[in-house]
Amino acid sequence: MDKKHIEPGGRRGFDKALVRLGLFAALAAFFCLVPEAGAHGVTDGDRGYIQESSGVLTMPFIYLGAKHMVTGYDHLLFLVGVVFFLYRFRDVGIYVSLFAVGHTVTLLTGTLLKISVSAYLIDAIIGFSIVYKALDNMGAYKRWFGFQPDTKIATLVFGLFHGFGLATKILDYKVSPDGLLANLISFNVGVELGQLMGLAMILIAMGFWRRSGNFMRHAYAAQVVLMTGGFLLVGYQLTGYFVS
């Protein structure tokens, strides 16, 4: 099998407690992170450089795309969930490619068509994608609903939302229409390079962990942490949406 779920056995009774923990984390983010909720989007230095420039800027946009992906902890956390139980490079390649296709499509269409969606709401959905993937890895849907959603389709669909998140960043830059398509392609190339760098670091860390002998013993707890982090991101972004 290219993917497996954690079978917690006697821990199934913790399912409701885990959801409560995640909701509590979201509420904690909502009430405790209000002062920082406005700290969203593009850095002032990057925005200023792009807004003062026009024409084809290949290398700057490659850099910006790579920087956003490497420093985008929400994207990286989702990737951690995606590859957590993938042991063959072929399977990793399939899932990561589906994710890349999804965010490439909506990055380009969202920016070129100027589809305006609240960055906070999109990023809240991205946070939810982390929660979804952690629960998927724990086999929660099979236990709760009696069936397992297609993990490849889910990865593609969430890739589309991650791409809209990237598009909102580009629209934040207020990029000049002069050379826009070439710059978008460059940005996407940078995103893919950044994703490969982030994925390489994740796979190296996972490889050491799997060889340590305690991987499966702590895998369930790791998914709880991943899920809680996703809920925190959801709460943080919803806070930003309501107070901005």
Q: pLDDT of 46-62, one tens digit each? A: 777 777 777 888 898 89
pTM across the whole model? 0.82
Judged against a pLDDT cut of 70, whether residue 37 lies above it is answered with no
- Give the residue among 25, 53, 61, 71 at the shortest CA–CA distance from 239: 25
Apex 131 CA angle, 104 and 198, nearest 5? 45
Split at pLDDT 50, 70, 90, the class of 18 is: low
Find the mean pLDDT for residues 5-24.
52
Task: Measure the CA–CA gap between 92 and 201, rounded to whole angstroms.
Answer: 14
User: 28 vs 149, which has greater pLDDT?
Assistant: 149
Alpha carbon 69 to its chain's center: 9
| CB-based burial label for 110 (10 Å; 0-12, 13-18, 19+) | buried
How does DSSP classify residue 192? H
Judged against a pLDDT cut of 80, whether residue 2 lies above it is answered with no
pLDDT at 29: 47
Judged against a pLDDT cut of 80, whether residue 5 lies above it is answered with no
Find the mean pLDDT for residues 162-186.
84
Q: What percent of the chain has pLDDT over 70?
A: 81
pLDDT at 1: 40
- Give the residue among 198, 222, 206, 172 at the shortest CA–CA distance from 71: 198
pLDDT at 19: 52
Split at pLDDT 50, 70, 90, the class of 13 is: very low
Task: Measure the CA–CA gap between 146 and 32, rounded to whole angstroms.
Answer: 37
Going 212 to 213 to 215 to 217, the CA torsion angle's sign is negative
- Give the residue among 107, 196, 101 at the shortest CA–CA distance from 152: 101
Task: Measure the CA–CA gap between 81 and 131, rounded to whole angstroms.
Answer: 9
pLDDT at 85: 93
Over residues 204-235, the pLDDT tens digits come to 999 999 988 888 888 988 999 999 999 999 99
Over residues 131-159, the pLDDT tens digits come to 999 999 999 998 899 888 999 999 999 99
Is residue 2 classed as helix, strand or coil in its secondary structure? coil
pLDDT at 16: 53
Q: Report helix angle 73-83 to 151-173, nearest 10.
A: 170
Over residues 80-113, the pLDDT tens digits come to 999 999 999 999 999 999 999 999 999 999 989 9
Q: Give whichever of 8-17, 73-82, 110-119 has the largest mean pLDDT.
A: 73-82
Split at pLDDT 50, 70, 90, the class of 73 is: confident
pLDDT at 134: 95
pLDDT at 25: 52
Judged against a pLDDT cut of 60, whether residue 11 lies above it is answered with no
In this structure, which amino acid lies at residue 101?
V
pLDDT at 40: 44
